[in-house]
Amino acid sequence: MYDDLLVPTDGSDRTDAAVDHAVALARAFDATIHVLSVVDTRNRFESPSAGVAAEAWVDAERERAEEAVERVAAAVPDDVDVERVVRDGTPTSEIAAYVEAEPVDAIVMATHGRSGLDRYLMGSVTEKIVRSSSVPVLTVSGDEGAD
């Protein structure tokens, strides 16, 4: 049923709870976990990088994405197969494109708990994926397991 699970990450600690769920599913179904982080390449006037040179923004984003993928992959036990993926673009579009291009059976992702003006201005990648995904999406509260 679930041979390939996608875990998108932005590098935040909130992803940890999603990883725990993905590992449990991967073990139950002998599935591979695909860890994806997106280098946000929107120009500085379209992204949260306003005021930063475009090249510096993309370089910093690439470093963040690579570190995020490695951090999540390191949290997956050795008995679970892991694919590491870094893509350029906008997070929502690249997550959706990955699902369409690869054999992904489900997405496991954290929610960030944004609300009010912050949610309105920043949007919610998770919410957009839930609404548009062609595969099941398991959302996990990023606060799960927090002390």
Does the residue 146 lie in any domain? no
Identify which has the larger pLDDT, 30 or 49.
30
CATH number at residue 96: 3.40.50.620
pLDDT single digits (tens) 122-143: 458 888 899 899 999 999 986 6
The kind and range of the H/E element at 19 are helix 15-29
Structural domain contains residue 117: yes
Q: Taking the alpha carbons of 112, 118, 122, 128 in that order, is the dihedral positive or negative? A: positive
Domain limits for position 116: 4-141
Domain membership of residue 134 (yes or no) is yes
| Residue 56: band (very low, low, confident or very high) from pLDDT cuts 50, 70, 90 | confident
Please work out, in degrees rounded to the nearest 5, the angle formed at the alpha carbon of residue 79 by the alpha carbons of 77 and 84: 65
Q: What is the pLDDT of residue 1?
A: 87
DSSP string, 53-111: -HHHHHHHHHHHHHHHHHHHHHHS-TTS-EEEEEEEE-HHHHHHHHHHHTT--EEEEEE
Q: What is the pLDDT of residue 122?
A: 43
**Position 87 confidence tier, pLDDT thresholds 50, 70, 90:** very high
Residue type, 122: M
Q: What is the pLDDT of residue 41?
A: 82
pLDDT of residue 44: 54
pTM, two decimals, is: 0.85
Query: Could you tell me if residue 147 is inside a domain?
Result: no
